[in-house]
Amino acid sequence: MGEEVISVKNLIKRYKELTALNGFSLSVGQGEIFGLLGPNGSGKSTTMNCILSLLRYDEGEIRVFGEKMTPESYEIKKRIGVVPQDIAVFDELTVQENIDYFCGLYVKDAETKKQYVDEAIDFVGLDAFRKFKPGKLSGGLKRRLNIACGIVHKPELIFFDEPTVAVDPQSRNKILENIVDLNKRGATIVYTTHYMEEVEQICTRIMIMDKGKALAEGTAEELKSRIKNTENVIVDIRKLPAEEVDKILKLPRVYEVEYRADRLTIRCAGGKQNIVSILDYLEVNNLKYQRIYSELPTLNDVFLEITGKELRDTEEAPDERPNKKKAGKKRGKEDA
């Protein structure tokens, strides 16, 4: 980790009876893309807003660029860019006017400002939409405008708060590319999301949080190496009887089996290449399947092992919960 850019120590933030952040600490170094991963309501945005001094907090200490962050820390604020979760632009202004206006809050020199605005428009690929008002843009283009307004003044530290929510895959990829590009140009990035794939894709260091607490921290590989899951074997198979699920759970190295929507997910520990033994079992027992493949563990598996729930659980409808069985637990108990 490079020179410390953000330091948060023992942060406590309460909303009346609810404790949103409970002794939360983190440290972000210069040049990092720091991913803050957690389900909805885990405290990611609260953390970000406290760091930015938008939210008051009850206890703890926050330092940015080595200085205490307060609402009046204008010198620090000059070096920060923010891309909020929702689109934060003026609907009455065009794309160019919006970017120009927010740049103008930081950059005084007219020539420099013009250059920065052109660069930001070019950077997010909105050159053809300069004269468009936000209402005429698609969701993905609005997101790009949101990003342009946050990074136009070339900040050293940029906060992205779930910038890809409700964005099409093409725009999403463009946004992620932009973030990596900004980092390569020297910006330190703090990226909050509940999409583990994005974090794995771009972040150099990740903190997993839930219920206002940091659960684990490290690179994606470090986090995955800390869990017992070494491989997931996925089998697309129709109408698998419950007793077969129980039998598969007793196979060597299998410690958890989940059957949902005609998909069997078998979690294995203690090495890879478990697919062979599972294939043998399916053929011996004459179980017809459509497809079988193997996956390495993801951050979702890390989160699952730490919290007992999946990152995506918070977004699921109750009737979509899987039939999940674990070795060593009472059979038939749903553990979703």
* Residue ranges in contact with another protein by CB under 8 A: 15, 45, 49, 52-56, 71-72, 74-75, 77-78, 80, 82, 84, 86-90, 92-93, 97, 101-102, 104-106, 108, 149-150
Q: In angstroms, what is the minimal distance from the CB of 302 to another protein?
A: 29
Closer CB to another protein, residue 91 or residue 221? 91
Q: In which order are the strands placed within the sheet that holds 4-15?
A: 18-29, 4-15, 59-64, 67-68
Closer CB to another protein, residue 45 or residue 229? 45
Bridge partners (DSSP) of residue 138 are none
Cα–Cα distance, 8 to 50 (Å, whole number): 10
Q: In angstroms, what is the minimal distance from the CB of 8 to another protein?
A: 16
DSSP, residue by residue, 126-158: -GGGTT--GGGS-HHHHHHHHHHHHHTT--SEE
Bridge partners (DSSP) of residue 218 are 206
Please report where in the chains the tokens 């807003």 appear, as a residue: 49
Closer CB to another protein, residue 112 or residue 285? 112
3-class SS at 164? coil
Phi, psi dihedral angles at 185 (to 5 degrees): -80, 0
Q: In angstroms, what is the minimal distance from the CB of 15 to another protein?
A: 6
Closer CB to another protein, residue 110 or residue 284? 110
Chain-centroid distance, C-alpha 268: 25
Pairing of strands 229-236, 254-260: unpaired
Closer CB to another protein, residue 74 or residue 261? 74
How many Cα atoms are found within 13 Å in the side-chain-facing hemisphere of 24? 30
Structure tokens at 295: 């996956």
> To the nearest 10°, the Cα dihedral for 317, 318, 322, 327?
130
Q: In angstroms, what is the minimal distance from the CB of 26 to another protein?
A: 19
Closer CB to another protein, residue 90 or residue 293? 90
Closer CB to another protein, residue 102 or residue 259? 102
Cα–Cα distance, 106 to 68 (Å, whole number): 21
Closer CB to another protein, residue 46 or residue 229? 46
Closer CB to another protein, residue 76 or residue 302? 76
Q: In angstroms, what is the minimal distance from the CB of 6 to another protein?
A: 15
Q: In angstroms, what is the minimal distance from the CB of 128 to another protein?
A: 22
Q: Residues 116, 108: contact at Cβ < 8 Å?
A: no
Q: In angstroms, what is the minimal distance from the CB of 74 to another protein?
A: 4
E strand or H helix at 210? strand 205-210
∠ CA 331-334-336, rounded to 5°: 140
Cα–Cα distance, 181 to 86 (Å, whole number): 22
Q: In angstroms, what is the minimal distance from the CB of 78 to another protein?
A: 4
Picking from 119, 72, 79, the residue whose alpha carbon sits closest to that of residue 96 is 119
Q: In angstroms, what is the minimal distance from the CB of 55 to another protein?
A: 6
